[in-house]
Amino acid sequence: MSLIRGWLKQVVPPIAIFLMIDLLLTLVFFSTSSPNVHIGTLRPADAIPPKLGELAVVGAGLGILSTLAYKHIDLSLITLFTAFVVLLDLDHLPSVLGVAQPIRPAHSLAFLGVTLVVLSVVLRNRQPEVGSIFVSSFLGHLAADTGIFALFAPFTFQYFSIDAVRIPLMAGAVAFALLAGYIKNKRRTRIVIPRKVAIIRV
């Protein structure tokens, strides 16, 4: 039971923060952008499950890489990577509801910056690795996506393809996944070793 409680404590706050910012930014970009750029529609229904499956594989793969750097099996790491990679697409919500929208509002540097700052500040003591998990997941998702993006929204909704940099994006995702595992390992060492010393002294 305490294992499940520990897992929930590790995964629920970061995912809740991520979802809130994703939805908020989708709403803000939708309401502040010109209807001219509301050209985002949903991919065909039969293409959605394979895409979600592909994203889940990318997220789980990054999570497993991170646990290798952590040097411990850690389900919360794998859960966070998978959730972040898959749930970024929540910004398609208006088109799910049949409303044309700006294409992929959360696939933007603004979302990357705002979410990174909020996660890092709110969880800096409990989960210092969460910023690296998020950056890795964001880069991994972009590397798995095709099509066009407005990376610099809300400053400009000019759309362009990033297909040419998919490999560097995935390399960045792998690097940050390993960094997240490394940070978590360092923190675990700091917490566990002083306790062991205290027990030996008693």
- Interacting residues toward Zn ion by CB under 5 A: 89, 145
| Smallest separation, CB 45 to Zn ion (Å) | 16
**Where does 1-144 show beta strands of DSSP type E?**
none
* Distance of alpha carbon 142 from alpha carbon 187, whole angstroms: 29
| Smallest separation, CB 17 to Zn ion (Å) | 19
| Smallest separation, CB 196 to Zn ion (Å) | 44
Nearer to Zn ion, 141 or 184 (CB): 141
**Residues whose CB is less than 8 angstroms from the CB of residue 17 and which lie 6 or more positions away in sequence, other chains included:** 115, 118, 119, 122, 123
| Smallest separation, CB 115 to Zn ion (Å) | 15
| Smallest separation, CB 78 to Zn ion (Å) | 20
* Distance of alpha carbon 178 from alpha carbon 66, whole angstroms: 5
Nearer to Zn ion, 161 or 189 (CB): 161
| Smallest separation, CB 88 to Zn ion (Å) | 6
Please, how many CA atoms are within 13 Å of residue 166, restricted to the half-sphere of its CB? 11
* Distance of alpha carbon 131 from alpha carbon 125, whole angstroms: 12
157: closest CA among 93, 101, 102, 114? Answer: 102
Nearer to Zn ion, 48 or 75 (CB): 48
Amino acid making up residue 3: L
Measure CA 26 to chain center.
15
Nearer to Zn ion, 92 or 184 (CB): 92
Tell me the two tokens of residue 15.
């995912």
Tell me the two tokens of residue 180.
């997240």
Nearer to Zn ion, 88 or 178 (CB): 88
Strands 148-149 and 160-161: antiparallel
Which residue, judged by CB position, is nearest to Zn ion in the bound state? 145
Nearer to Zn ion, 88 or 130 (CB): 88
